[in-house]
């Protein structure tokens, strides 16, 4: 059993063949998927999919840092309303992205804090996107520690940086890049992150793992990420599947994750 903790089945890339994608999900042993919103329409769609695929899909709702400059009060109100729904297990994705610079740093930081306040208020975990912005991400998360827990999704930083987020009680999630031959950092992070703090995800439709690199990604490819992590850690595929699924349940379904460590 595997849990894909970050998938964008709400992306238009899946608009024409979602039933077929979901059939492959079930035969690939993926038992649960968290469909993550990145703006209001995609968050609404994530909730819709969670209703349609009850028992398999859960939703996360939020506004991506790319959209921070455009995130007005009405959009925030709608996300805050959706976040209260039972099938919504997390707030996000949110965070900081200084790599693509699609929104100003100030707007990103303000919107990130807004999501963290919402997560704290609802006692739900937060799904964090951080790219080339680890120091600021860490500083802002510290402001909300230990009240807010969550996951560093598709973590692209070094092991030294991962350790800082682990100290705040965050989980580290690895995606397709851990299967890429020349990706040194995700392999180091996979090696050193304790098994009880590791999650896996596809981040589909992006970042397909080997041997599908460059193609559209989908949740049924999650096993390739589990296999790569297993090889790096010298464990079996089943051990990785079991540990990461247990971690995902702990973080997203069990409120005890919020007790201060
Ligand atoms: Ni994402």
For the stretch 82-126, pLDDT in tens is: 999 999 999 999 999 999 888 999 999 999 999 999 999 999 999
Q: How far is the CA of 129 from the centre of ligand 1 (A)?
A: 7
Query: What's the pLDDT band for 261 if we cut at 50, 70, 90?
Result: very low
DSSP codes joined into one string, 232-243: HHT--HHHHHHH
Q: What is the mean pLDDT of residues 207-214?
A: 96
β-strands 150-152, 88-97 pairing: unpaired
Task: Please check whether residue 173 is in contact with residue 201, taking contact to mean a CB–CB distance below 8 angstroms.
Answer: yes
Q: What is the CATH number of domain 2-51+60-251?
A: 3.20.20.140
CA of 188 to the centre of ligand 1 (A): 22
Q: How many Å apart are CA 98 and CA 109, to the nearest integer?
A: 11
| Tokens of residue 30, six digits | 């993926």
What is the pLDDT at residue 259? Answer: 39
Phi, psi for residue 250 in degrees, rounded to 5 = -60, -45
pLDDT of residue 253: 85
Predicted confidence band at 179 (pLDDT cuts at 50, 70, 90)? very high
Cα of 154 vs centre of ligand 1, distance in Å, is: 8
> What b/e readout covers 85-107, taking b as 16+ CB neighbours within 10 angstroms?
eebbbbbbbbbbbbeeeebeeee
Q: How far is the CA of 93 from the centre of ligand 1 (A)?
A: 7
- Span from the CA of 144 to the centroid of ligand 1 (angstroms): 22
* Per-domain residue ranges of the chain: 2-51+60-251
Q: Whole-angstrom Cα distance, residue 206 to residue 65?
A: 17
H or E stretch covering 74? helix 73-83
Q: Give yes or no for residue 39 having a pLDDT over 60.
A: yes
CA 151 – ligand 1 centroid, Å:
12
Q: If you average pLDDT over residues 229-256, what whole number do you get?
A: 91
Say how far apart CA 159 and CA 21 lie, in whole Å: 33
The pTM of this model reads 0.95
């Amino acid at each position: 059993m595997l849990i894909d903790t970050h998938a964008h089945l709400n992306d238009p890339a899946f608009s024409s063949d979602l039933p077929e994608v979901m059939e492959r999900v079930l035969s690939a042993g993926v038992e649960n998927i968290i469909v993550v919103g990145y703006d209001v329409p995609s968050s609404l769609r994530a909730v819709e999919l969670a209703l349609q695929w009850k028992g398999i899909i859960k939703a996360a709702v939020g506004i991506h840092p790319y959209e921070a400059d455009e995130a007005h009060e009405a959009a925030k109100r709608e996300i805050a309303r959706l976040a209260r729904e039972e099938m919504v297990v997390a707030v996000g994705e949110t965070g900081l992205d200084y790599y693509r610079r699609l929104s100003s740093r100030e707007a990103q930081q303000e919107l990130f804090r807004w999501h963290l306040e919402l997560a704290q208020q609802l006692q739900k975990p937060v799904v964090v996107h951080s790219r080339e912005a680890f120091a600021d991400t860490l500083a802002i998360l510290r402001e909300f520690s230990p009240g807010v827990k969550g996951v560093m999704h598709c973590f692209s930083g070094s092991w030294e940086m991962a350790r800082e987020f682990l100290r705040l009680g965050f989980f580290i999630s690895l995606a397709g890049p851990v299967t890429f031959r020349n990706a040194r950092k995700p392999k180091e992070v996979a090696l050193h992150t304790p098994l009880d703090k590791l999650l896996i995800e596809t981040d589909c439709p992006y970042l397909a793992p080997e041997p599908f690199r460059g193609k559209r990604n989908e949740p049924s490819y999650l096993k390739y990420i589990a296999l790569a992590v297993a090889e790096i850690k010298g464990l079996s595929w089943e051990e990785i599947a079991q540990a990461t699924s247990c971690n995902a349940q702990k973080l997203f379904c069990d409120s005890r994750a919020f007790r201060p460590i």
